[in-house]
Amino acid sequence: MKKESKTSRYLIPAALIVCALAFIVTGILDKEVLTVLRKAAAICMECIGLG
């Protein structure tokens, strides 16, 4: 069987983590967090089955 390389074992997750952090910063700068807070801080009628 082909041996697993150390690089692929750790490099891929590291790259994904960096990418994820970049996404989070982009989202914050784009004010997506405000949409999240606005929705999350009021009772969501759809969630609780009242439509």
Partner 1 sequence: MKNVILWLFGIEESALSDPVTIAAIIASFAVIAAVIAVFIVLAVKRRFRIREWGNKAWQRTKLITQSCFFMLTNSFMVGWFKGTIYQGKLKYLCVPGMNCYSCPGAWGACPIGSLQAIFNDFDAAKSWVDPKTGTYVKVPKYWFAFYVIGLMMLIGAVCGRLVCGLLCPFGWVQDLIYKIPVKKLRLPRDEMRIANSKHPKAVRFFLGLDKYLRYAKYAFLIVMVIFLPLMVKADPWFCKYVCPSGMLLGGIPLMSMNKSLADAAGSLTLLKLCILASLVVISIFLYRPFCRYICPLGAIYSFFNKVSLYRYGIDDASCNRAKGCAACAHACPMGVDPVRDPNSLECIRCGTCAASCPKKAIRPGFRFKTAEGNAIRTKKSK
- Residue 41 interacting with partner 1 (CB under 8 A): yes
Instruction: Establish how many alpha carbons lie within 13 A of residue 29's alpha carbon, considering only the half-sphere containing its beta carbon.
Output: 6
- Residue 43 interacting with partner 1 (CB under 8 A): yes
Round to whole Å and give the CA distance between 26 and 23. Answer: 5
Give the contact letters, 8-37, x = binds to partner 1 (CB under 8 A), - = no.
-xx-xxx-xx-xxxxxxxxxx-x-xx-xxx
* Footprint on this chain of partner 1 (rule: CB under 8 A): 1, 3-4, 6, 9-10, 12-14, 16-17, 19-28, 30, 32-33, 35-44, 46-51
